[in-house]
Amino acid sequence: MDSAAMINRCFRHQHPEAYGDIEVAEPPLPIGLRYGQDRSPAPSRECLPEDVLGYPNAIPLAPY
């Protein structure tokens, strides 16, 4: 079997809906396992200054 046929066979197995068959349902996962239980970190208000990067007439952005 050449690689194109092998890739097509694998894709057909994982995504039968692309070939007109019924889509494979995802297994049910508990919410904590699917999305995690860690709190999102607070957004940082710090920002780094922009580098000129070869454009000497660059104007720095004002902090928000």
Give me the number of domains the chain comprises: 1
**pLDDT by residue (tens digit) across 12-53?**
888 888 889 888 888 888 988 888 888 888 888 887 776 667
Q: In terms of Cα–Cα distance, which of 36, 59, 40 is closest to 49? A: 59
Domain that holds residue 3: 1-26
Instruction: Classify residue 34: in a domain, yes or no.
Output: no
Instruction: Classify residue 58: in a domain, yes or no.
Output: no
Answer whether 58's CB lies under 8 Å from 50's CB.
yes
CA–CA dist 37, 40 (Å, integer): 9
pLDDT at 3: 93
Confidence of residue 6 (pLDDT cuts 50, 70, 90): very high
Instruction: Classify residue 15: in a domain, yes or no.
Output: yes
- What pTM did the predictor assign? 0.36
Instruction: Classify residue 14: in a domain, yes or no.
Output: yes
Alpha helices in the chain (DSSP H): 3-14, 31-35
Confidence of residue 63 (pLDDT cuts 50, 70, 90): low
Confidence of residue 64 (pLDDT cuts 50, 70, 90): low
